[in-house]
């Protein structure tokens, strides 16, 4: 049984995950949010939330609802000033500390 040498290991690359991440993000309904970690799990790589973040950094926000992706603590993305207003425009309220309440807005499939 043991035999499981080299090639079996597939570590995800940014390129190999990009499309599936985009597809997941595209599904997030208006007024709901998903976390980087949740997306990573849905994509099959639970320990790669950082890679998802990296992918979102270069994602086309004019074609995808990138503003609906937040951190597990409800924090918005750095270097994405438009995110708050885009969320507000669809009814997502932020706490006084500028965070999204996942209890209220997290999208459960």
Residues that bind DNA (CB under 7 A): 11-15, 35-38, 47-54, 56-57, 59, 61, 66, 69, 71-73, 75, 77-80, 83, 95-97, 99
What are the tokens at 109?
């499939």
Cβ-based nearer residue to DNA, 29 or 98? 98
Cβ-based nearer residue to DNA, 29 or 81? 81
CB of 36 to DNA, least distance (A): 3
Distance CA 25, CA 36 (A): 10
Look at the block and give the residue holding tokens 């996942």.
102
What are the tokens at 81?
């000033």
How many H-runs (helices) and E-runs (strands) does the chain carry?
Answer: 5, 2
CB of 59 to DNA, least distance (A): 6
């Amino acid at each position: 049984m043991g035999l499981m040498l080299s090639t079996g290991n597939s570590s995800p690359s940014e390129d190999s995950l990009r499309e599936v991440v985009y597809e997941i993000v595209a599904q997030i309904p208006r007024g709901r949010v998903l976390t980087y970690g949740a997306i990573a799990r849905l994509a099959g790589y639970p320990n790669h939330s950082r890679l998802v973040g990296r992918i979102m950094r270069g994602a086309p926000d004019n074609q995808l609802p990138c503003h609906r992706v937040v951190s597990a603590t409800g924090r918005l993305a750095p270097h994405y000033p438009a995110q708050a207003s885009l969320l507000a425009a669809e009814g997502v309220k932020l706490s006084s500390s500028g965070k999204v309440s996942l209890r209220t807005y997290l999208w459960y499939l």
